[in-house]
Every structure is written in C-alpha cells, then in structure tokens.
Chain A
Amino acid sequence: METEDDVFNLEKLIVQLDGLHTELSQLTKKSPNDGLNLFKLKLVNNVLGSGNQVLTGNYKPFEDFNEFEEVTLPTNSDVTMILALYKEQAERFRSDNMIYSQHRWQYVINGEPSAIEGRPPTKIGTIK
C-alpha cells in the first residue's frame, strides 16, 4: 500500500464484504437457489468492483471474474461463495500488509510501519 487512502479503502472493503457475506449467508441458508434481486446484485457488484481495485495480482480471487451479470441470474449461493473468496483474499492482503512494531500492529505504507493501527493479522505466512 502506498498511501493512507489505500488503507482506508481496504478497511472499507473488508467491512462491506463482511456485511454482505453475513446477510447473504442467511438468505442462502433459507433458499440457496433463489435469484438475487437486481438492487442487491448492483450493490454486490459495486463492492466487487472496489475489491478488484484493491485486490490485484495474486490477491485477485479469479483472473476471469470481475462481477456478476444480470442475465446469468446468480443465485444466493453463487453470490455467497464469491463474497467468501473475496473476503478471504482481502484478509490475506491485509495480513500481508501488517507489521508488529513498537508493541502494536500497524499497517505498512511504502514498506514502512505507518501510524495507522490495525487488528492482528490472521493469515500469517502467505506468499506475497
């Protein structure tokens, strides 16, 4: 990450992915094959769009997937699965950009510990 904005964008993405995943998991439990309505689908695609900007290179879950198309009629379970993968990769990206310095976990900006504190990483040891 190069700027503080990158950190804020990542944190925002993680929160949005968590929220959507939680909501859609409940829908999936109720009716996995039901289609997601266009309003929700648009929101999901917006978040996935942000995800694609933040999660590049090895962090992008699928090379040939960017967003859901309306005509493919994605089901609740389809969307939940993709959100879960984006969520995992966002957390991997975050973990890889945390450093323990001065007795606290901080985000790394331009290779240096920044003043922004964060949660401890959960995906330690992954390849950058």
Chain B
Amino acid sequence: MFFVNVFMALVLHKRVYALLDGNYNHFNSCLVNNKSVKTIMAIIRPRLTDHFGIPLSQADLDFAIPFLEEDIPLYVDPFMLWRSPSQQDNALHASLLSAFNNLGILVRDNKEEQALEILIAASECDEVGLGTSATRHGKRIGKASAKEIINLFKRIPQYARSGFRHFEEIQLFVDGVSKDRISDITCSFLKSFLIDFTIQQCDKLGIPKVSSEVQNVYDFRKNIFETQSAISLPINPKNGKPLIFVPKRWLRYVPWLSYDDYFKYYCPQDEISHKPEELRHIEVLNYNRDNYGVIDNYIKEKERTFEDCHNDPLFSQIPITSAKRRFSQIQKLPTGKTDGADIAYEELMGQLLPSLLYPNLDFAQEQARTDSGVSIRDLIFYNSASTPFLKDIYDTYGARQITMEMKNVQAIERIHVDQLNRYLADELGQFGLFITRNPLKKAEFKRTIDLWSGQRKAIVVLTDTDIGQMVELFESKQRNPIDVVVKKYSELRRSCP
C-alpha cells in the first residue's frame, strides 16, 4: 500500500503540473495546420513523432512510438513488471494485483455486478494501441466471459483465499482470454501511471499535448474506474483521441505465462486424454480448474526461470551469417525477371537492408506502387536524423522518409529515373535511392545530376558492390553501413555543378 500511495501522490503532482503547461495552443495549431494534415497523408505508415516532425529513432526512446493508423504488434506482459529489478515496476505489479484481486473481494461481498463492470471496463485500452488491430480500436469482453473470469474466485479455493500471484493465469482457465486481453487489462489498471509516463516523455521530447478526457482511469483509493478530464496528453491527429505511451521494457510478443507454453511443455496431456482428438482447448481448461496443483507448479517453474524472460525488441537485426548468405544469394541472381529473379531480389533486399541500416533508419514498410503500368517495389524508412548526414538530407531535401526503389535490371534506364523522380514529391522528400545491380550509365548518371541541378532532387545509386561493402561493414563493425550511402551521396554531390 505504501508504494500505491507514493504513486498516487506522484500522479496528482504531475497532473497539476501538466495542466499548467502551455502546449495546448501549439498542439491545436498543429491539428488545424493544413500542412500537417497533408504530411499525414504523405508519410507511409505514419508514427506520432514523424507527424510532429520530431525525428527520433525508435532505438533511442524508452517507449514504443505509436502508429497513427494501426497497433504496435507487441503486448504488455505483466510478468515483466514482476521480474524487473526496478522497485517501481515491482510496486506497479503489486498495484495491478491488488486491483485485480479486489474483484475477488467484491465477489465475496456479494457485489458481483460491480466486479463484472470493472472487469469489462478494464478489458480494452485503446489509448495504448498494442496488438494487431488495423484500426486502433478493440472490443471489450462480453458479460459471459467476464463472469467466467470472476467465477474463478469462487471456483478455485486458492484464489478465493489469497487471490492471484499473476493474474495472467486466467488464460489457463478461461476460453477466449489471450495475450491481447492480458495486455489491455494490465494497461487499464496501470493507466494512471502510464499517463504520467506519457506526459514525462512528451515534455522531454517536445511532443505537443492537449487537454483531453480519458475514460476508465483506475482509482486505487476508491477501487473503481473513473473518467478524468483536463489531462494533457498527445492526440492522434487522425481521430483526435488521446494516446498513451508504454515503456518498451514491458513489451513482449507472447507473455511469459501463456496457454501455448503451458500446453506444449507443462500440461500433463496424457492425463487429460489419451486420444489426441479429445485433447481440446476446453478440456484442458476444465482439467486446469480441477487440478490447481498443476498450474501452481507451472507458475513456480516459470518464476524460478524468470531470468530467461526478456522484453522483445520492436525490430531485430538478422545475424551476420544470414546477412552474408542473403548477399551471396543476391549475387547469384540473374538480372531481369527470369525465374522470378526480380521478386527474389526484392525479397532478399527487403530482408537485408532494414538490418544493415538499423538503428540509423527505422524500417517503415515495403510498399508496392504502380507507375505507367509498371509495378514498382520500394522500401520505405523513417528518417530519424540521427547522424549529421541524415540530418542534412532531412533539412535539405525534406526527407522525413527515405525511399529505396529496387531494380533488378542490367542497367537503369531513363524511364526508371523518371519514375523515381515523379515519386519524390514534396511531401515524401526529395531524396531517393536506387538499389540495383550495376552502376548507372553515363547518360542516366547525367540525368540524376540534371535533376539535382534543376529540381534539387538527389538520387543515389547503390549497386551490388556497395551492398557488399555494407555487409562487410555490418560484419566488421569498423564503420557504419550507412556510411556507404554517405559516400555515394558525396560522390553525387561532387559531380554536381
């Protein structure tokens, strides 16, 4: 309780502070600014920081940068709070459990309806935007599912007596509860802390905030969800709804305690059924309810091996051997479309380049577009302006994102240069790269020079030789692979008048 009280004091203090800051007008001006709206339209897979022109690399931030149109494909794992060496995280886990186990107290006091209401309210947390939704909007659990969860406090004596140690155990007893639900319940109960974390990060990075109304903020003193108004939070410019950041250190693809892990490695399957066709999900859940000892052992075993539990990064580089293997495959590919060589080239480059350029450039997505009836595949990167070169092209060419157009051709033709030129519009930035097999011919190289001279658009070409050098630097770590792009750009600029 001491920690909970400390947090509450912290929360109130920061809220008052947040109310006093003067970012509202700035934020509103950003929202109504046409240029900003135009920018959202232009940026591919926009993130909050890109929208506000705050070029930051994901690797440098403590939270997962929210996308404006979709969810981040990771989940909050409450076990990360339990296993954390930080006293703050441990205290938050204790608060979380206290809030969840309070549902059991309500059940015991014959206030089951109230418990159901709280659980249903906790079951979705759209503000954090974690999961797989393409719309940043999820659905709450139904009353029937909520009742099943609440009934665990009556059905299993250990929970009735002393509550949960890890509330994600509910996955092992109730159908339809999975990692997204666990994550949302965690975020809902800890929303008050997450709001403060968000305010703190926004102040640190200069992300504009606006006074917002936030629904379902858990009040640990009253043990109820409340709507809080006049809270300064960043707003999703797409829909005007508030956004809440989540610390990266809590995120995992799959929770440490999960049904799949239990079923695969710990579940006594033979005891449940000798016939595989009868070993269904629902039978396992029923077995678990009647055999709490098995679950208890599973939890104890997972707690014992907690040191193996780590957060998952938002992006993982491929290993050096894989990078070398992919480059070797690229070198063996013929130019053109023979036997799908163009598709294989694009796929291999799509796997290789995001790793070579990480963490300087965050990979946004691979994108297909059509120009003059020709299908073109690009790799789009967020420009984090994290090096002097990236900052320079951000300022000089307005390159908020960097487009790399892949061409598995013997020689880049004039039409290819024109296609990329058309694509390098004002909104996307005027800096682009060709990823191709051979250096440009004299005429096409001159055309890129002319584009720079006439329109100040820079088109840099990376050939197999350059990619080979990037792979070598990726392995040796003597220089950064992005320095090859710097070298090529500097060669282009030296040729320009």
Assess the B483–A35 pair: CB atoms within 8 A: yes
- CB B483 to nearest CB in A, in angstroms, measures 5
Asked if B472 lies at the interface with its beta carbon under 8 angstroms from chain A, I say yes
Assess the A38–B469 pair: CB atoms within 8 A: no
Residues in B neighbouring A70, C-beta threshold 8 A: 483
- Contacts A31-B472, A35-B469 given; does A71 touch B478 at CB 8 Å: no
Asked if A72 lies at the interface with its beta carbon under 8 angstroms from chain B, I say yes
Cα–Cα distance between A73 and B465 once the two chains are bound (Å): 13
Assess the A71–B469 pair: CB atoms within 8 A: no
Name the residue among A31, A36, A73 with the largest chain B CB count within 10 angstroms: A73
CB contacts under 8 Å to A, within B453-489, are: 468-469, 472-473, 476, 478-479, 483-484, 486-487
- Contacts A35-B478, A37-B478 given; does A73 touch B487 at CB 8 Å: yes
- Residue from B476, B487, B490 in contact with A34 in the complex, judged by beta carbons closer than 8 Å: B476
- CB B215 to nearest CB in A, in angstroms, measures 52
- CB A77 to nearest CB in B, in angstroms, measures 12
Name the residue among A34, A35, A72 with the largest chain B CB count within 10 angstroms: A35
- Residue from A37, A38, A73, A75 in contact with B486 in the complex, judged by beta carbons closer than 8 Å: A73
Cα–Cα distance between A72 and B486 once the two chains are bound (Å): 8
Cα–Cα distance between A75 and B484 once the two chains are bound (Å): 11
Q: Mark A49-83, 1 if CB is under 8 A from B, else 0.
A: 00000000000000000000111110100000000
Q: Mark A22-50, 1 if CB is under 8 A from B, else 0.
A: 00000000010111111000000000000
Assess the B483–A73 pair: CB atoms within 8 A: yes
Assess the A35–B473 pair: CB atoms within 8 A: yes
Assess the A37–B479 pair: CB atoms within 8 A: yes
Assess the A34–B483 pair: CB atoms within 8 A: no
Number of residue pairs spanning A and B whose beta carbons lie under 8 angstroms apart: 36
Assess the B486–A34 pair: CB atoms within 8 A: no
Cα–Cα distance between A65 and B223 once the two chains are bound (Å): 75
Residues in A neighbouring B483, C-beta threshold 8 A: 35, 70-71, 73
CB contacts under 8 Å to A, within B429-474, are: 468-469, 472-473
Number of interface residues of B (CB under 8 A): 12
- Contacts A71-B487, A72-B487 given; does A33 touch B479 at CB 8 Å: no
Residues in A neighbouring B472, C-beta threshold 8 A: 31, 33-35
CB nearest neighbor in B for A36: B478
- CB A53 to nearest CB in B, in angstroms, measures 27
- CB B134 to nearest CB in A, in angstroms, measures 41
CB nearest neighbor in B for A75: B469
- Contacts A33-B468, A33-B472 given; does A38 touch B479 at CB 8 Å: yes
- CB B219 to nearest CB in A, in angstroms, measures 54
Residues in A neighbouring B473, C-beta threshold 8 A: 34-35
Assess the A71–B486 pair: CB atoms within 8 A: yes
CB contacts under 8 Å to A, within B211-225, are: none
Q: Mark B391-421, 1 if CB is under 8 A from A, else 0.
A: 0000000000000000000000000000000
Assess the A34–B478 pair: CB atoms within 8 A: yes
Cα–Cα distance between A75 and B476 once the two chains are bound (Å): 12
CB contacts under 8 Å to A, within B31-52, are: none
Residues in A neighbouring B487, C-beta threshold 8 A: 71-73
- CB A106 to nearest CB in B, in angstroms, measures 43
Q: Mark B225-238, 1 if CB is under 8 A from A, else 0.
A: 00000000000000
CB nearest neighbor in A for B389: A71
Cα–Cα distance between A31 and B468 once the two chains are bound (Å): 12
Which A residues are within 8 Å of any B CB, using their own CB? 31, 33-38, 69-73, 75
Supplied contacts A35-B472, A35-B479, 14 more A-B pairs, CB within 8 Å: A31-B472, A31-B476, A33-B468, A33-B469, A33-B472, A34-B476, A35-B469, A35-B473, A35-B476, A71-B483, A72-B487, A73-B469, A73-B484, A73-B487
